[in-house]
């Protein structure tokens, strides 16, 4: 069984922001939660990809094969092939597949610095990049490569491994960090790369990563944000409970808050939503386990009507063509899966229309835009009309 570091790369974003979460997670006894189907599928996908890369297989050759109790489907194989092709193109001289970092406890930069990197490759040429690749099988949350602490942690681990074998790496040597996430939509596509240098990775590790690892040992400070999503201590976190309680007790009309207060409180919306999600999951789990919880009960989910077996023949005979939905163009993400050339066509024929305005945190990658005024709306209409006429 894989042993995960309490200060591992995959949770780095959380403990870099919230050092108190590590001690809190250690104190709680979590129920023997079954590994979620998503997690199982992710583990199996990584195993399948490593198998293909190590044995020089393409993913279509393993369709139907079992990996950790999960059968490789066509859909899984299509996603894996994008990662396999990308990694294989980097396999020139030296590479690591599902390789350990920080395996030797005596030479680790911190006792909890260890883990497994999906893929890394490098050559003997001192100016060629060292590549570090992380495969994400998930659909839901699309991840950026730029300044990604998980990837930077892995990169530092790879540099550390190279140091222990005496492989020289100049500080100026490029390091390319890549996320391959074929199943989740991201405006930059399924493969996102970010180039930095070995010197920058080492600087980040010395000035940010390692001090944060030491801070965890002495600090009980909490900070809530998007990183609360995967925090194992969500249900017992005093900060989330406090924020949730404060939100419940808050009777101030939102329109009367000052800009400063509104901006500050907005930072915590996502954290409170994670608390709500965790409460819902705990309630369902308890009721499904047979507990009687005052104030709530187990009910059937609302369903939609579906036709009985044999309905199609009767309805088609009686209603003809009207019984069927006319053929319609698939959505861009569905279309991308149609064939190998489909993603290129989708890129060529797709655009993202403006659909209005929303609020984002300062840390969001999108550029801030100006609020619409009668003048700039009018100006935009004139420019559009001129462009159409010319």
What's the CA gap between 81 and 130, in Å, rounded? 22
In the complex with ligand SF4, which residue's Cβ is closer, 44 or 239?
239
Min dist CB 216 to ligand SF4, Å, is 11
Among 72, 77, 213, 231, binds ligand SF4 (CB under 6 A): 231
Q: Residues 181 to 210: which contact ligand SF4 by CB under 6 A?
A: none
In the complex with ligand SF4, which residue's Cβ is closer, 16 or 152?
16
First to last CA, the chain: 66
How open is the CA angle 271-39-16, to the nearest 5 degrees?
Answer: 40
In the complex with ligand SF4, which residue's Cβ is closer, 24 or 45?
24
Note whether 237 binds ligand SF4 by CB under 6 A: yes
Stretch that binds ligand SF4, among 63-71, 154-162, 188-196, 221-229 (CB under 6 A): 221-229
HSE-CB for 220 with a 13 A CA cutoff:
7
Residue 217 phi/psi, 5° resolution? -70, -25
Min dist CB 14 to ligand SF4, Å, is 5
Min dist CB 24 to ligand SF4, Å, is 5
What's the CA gap between 9 and 213, in Å, rounded? 11
Min dist CB 23 to ligand SF4, Å, is 9
Min dist CB 322 to ligand SF4, Å, is 53
Min dist CB 101 to ligand SF4, Å, is 24
Note whether 224 binds ligand SF4 by CB under 6 A: yes
Note whether 216 binds ligand SF4 by CB under 6 A: no
How open is the CA angle 131-126-104, to the nearest 5 degrees?
Answer: 60
Note whether 234 binds ligand SF4 by CB under 6 A: yes
User: Which stretch of DSSP H or E encloses residue 131?
Assistant: strand 130-135
Q: Give CA separation, 370 vs 90, 263, 367, 373, in Å.
A: 43, 17, 10, 9
Tokens of 88: 């294989």
Among 53, 120, 239, 346, binds ligand SF4 (CB under 6 A): 239
Q: Give CA separation, 198 vs 119, 291, 344, in Å.
A: 17, 54, 33
In the complex with ligand SF4, which residue's Cβ is closer, 59 or 150?
150
Q: Are strands 130-135 and 70-71 parallel, antiparallel or unpaired?
A: unpaired
Q: Residues 24 to 63: which contact ligand SF4 by CB under 6 A?
A: 24
Note whether 244 binds ligand SF4 by CB under 6 A: no
Which residues in this chain contact ligand SF4 in the complex, by CB under 6 A? 14, 18, 20-21, 24, 222, 224, 227-228, 231, 233-234, 237, 239-240
């Amino acid at each position: 069984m894989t042993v995960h570091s309490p200060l591992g790369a995959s949770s780095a974003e959380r403990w870099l922001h919230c050092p108190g979460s590590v001690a809190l997670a250690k104190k709680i006894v979590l129920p023997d939660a079954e590994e979620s189907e998503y997690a199982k599928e992710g583990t199996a996908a990584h195993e399948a990809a490593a198998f293909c890369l190590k044995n020089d297989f393409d993913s279509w050759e393993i369709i139907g094969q079992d990996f950790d109790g999960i059968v490789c489907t066509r859909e899984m194989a299509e996603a894996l092939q994008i990662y396999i092709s990308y990694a294989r193109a980097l396999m020139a001289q030296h590479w690591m597949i599902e390789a350990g970092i920080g395996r030797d406890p005596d030479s680790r930069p911190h006792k909890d610095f260890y883990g497994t990197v999906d893929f890394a490759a490098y050559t003997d040429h001192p100016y060629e990049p060292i590549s570090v690749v992380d495969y994400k099988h998930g659909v839901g949350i699309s991840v950026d490569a730029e300044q990604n602490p998980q990837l930077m942690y892995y990169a530092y681990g790879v540099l550390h491994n190279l140091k222990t074998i005496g492989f020289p790496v100049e500080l100026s040597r490029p390091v390319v960090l890549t996320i391959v996430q074929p199943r989740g939509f991201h405006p930059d596509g399924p493969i996102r790369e970010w180039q930095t240098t070995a010197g920058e990775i080492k600087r980040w590790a010395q000035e940010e990563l390692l001090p944060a690892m030491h801070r965890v040992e002495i600090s009980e400070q909490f900070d809530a944000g998007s990183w609360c999503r995967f925090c194992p201590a969500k249900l017992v976190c005093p900060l989330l409970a406090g924020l949730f309680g404060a939100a419940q007790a808050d009777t101030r009309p939102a329109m009367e808050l000052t800009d400063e207060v509104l901006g500050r409180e907005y930072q915590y919306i996502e954290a409170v939503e994670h608390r709500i999600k965790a409460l819902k999951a705990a309630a369902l789990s308890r009721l499904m386990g047979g507990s009687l919880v005052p104030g709530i009960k187990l009910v059937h989910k609302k369903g939609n009507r579906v036709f009985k077996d044999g309905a199609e023949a009767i309805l088609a005979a009686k209603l003809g063509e009207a019984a069927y939905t006319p053929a319609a163009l698939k959505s861009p993400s569905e279309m991308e899966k149609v064939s190998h050339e489909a993603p290129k066509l989708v890129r060529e024929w797709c655009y993202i229309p403006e659909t209005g305005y929303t609020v984002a945190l300062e840390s969001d990658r999108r550029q801030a835009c100006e609020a619409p005024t009668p003048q700039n709306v009018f100006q935009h209409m004139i420019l559009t009309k001129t462009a159409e006429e010319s």
